[in-house]
Chain A
Amino acid sequence: MSGILAILERGAGGWHRMSFEALAGALELGRATGEPVTVCVPAADAGAAAAEAAAWGAAVIALEHEALSLYAADAWIAALEPLIRELGPAWVVLPHTYQTRDFAPALAARFGRVLMGDCTGFAIEEGRPVFERQLFQGKLIGRFLFETEAPNFVSFQAGAFRAARPAGAAAPVTVRRAEIEPARIRQRPEPPFREAVQAVDLASVERIVAVGRGIGDEGNLELARELAAALNAELAASRPICDNGWLPMDRQVGSSGQTVAPKLYLALGISGAIQHVVGMKGSGCIVAVNRDPQAPIFEIADYGIVGDLFEVTPALIEELRRSKETA
Chain B
Amino acid sequence: MKIVVAVKQVPARDVQAELVPSGDWIDESGLSFEMNEPDAYALEAALRLRESAGGEVVAVSAGPERVQSVLREALAKGADRAIHLAADGDAARGLDPAVNAALLERAVREEQPELVLTGLQSDDTGSGQTGVVLAARLGWPHATLVMAIEPGQGEVRVKRELEGGWYQHMRLPLPAVLTIQSGISRLRYATLMGIKRARTKEIRRLEAPPEAAGGLRLAGLALPRRSRQTQFLEGPPAEQAAQLVEKLRFEARVL
Contacts and interface: CB of A to CB of B under 8 A. Distances in A.
B129 A264 contact: no
Given A136-B11, A242-B183, A302-B252, A118 B126 contact: yes
Nearest to A133: B126
Interface string B215-242: 1111111111111111111000110111
A112 B31 CA distance: 34
Interface stretch (A20-28, A58-66, A309-317): A309-317
Chain A interface, >50% SS class:
mixed
B129 A115 contact: yes
B245 A320 contact: yes
Contact of A302 (B143, B165, B231): B231
Nearest to B145: A98
> Chain A, interface size: which category?
35 or more
B201 interface: no
Given A285-B252, A305-B233, A113 B215 contact: yes
A116 to B, nearest CB: 6
B163 interface: yes
A19 interface: no
A102 interface: yes
Contacts of B166: 192-194
B214 interface: yes
Interface in A111-150: 113-118, 125, 130, 133-148
B13 interface: yes
B125 interface: yes
A147 B163 contact: no
Interface in A229-269: 231, 239-240, 242-245, 249-250, 255-259, 263-264
A286 B245 CA distance: 13
Nearest to A299: B226
B77 interface: no
A278 B136 CA distance: 30
Contact of B218 (A71, A101, A142, A294): A142
Contacts of A188: 170-172
A135 B126 contact: yes
A78 interface: no
A147 B127 CA distance: 17
Nearest to B227: A299
Contacts of B224: 134, 138-141, 294, 296, 299
Given A147-B215, A192-B168, A105 B132 contact: yes
Given A243-B183, A256-B163, A298 B230 contact: yes
A117 B127 contact: yes
Q: Sorted from nearest, which 3 A-B pairs have the closest CB atoms?
A: A114-B214, A148-B215, A243-B183
5 contacts: A97-B163, A101-B145, A116-B216, A136-B26, A186-B141
Given A303-B247, A303-B252, 14 more contacts: A98-B162, A114-B133, A115-B97, A118-B127, A136-B123, A145-B217, A187-B171, A192-B167, A243-B183, A257-B165, A285-B248, A299-B224, A305-B244, A319-B241
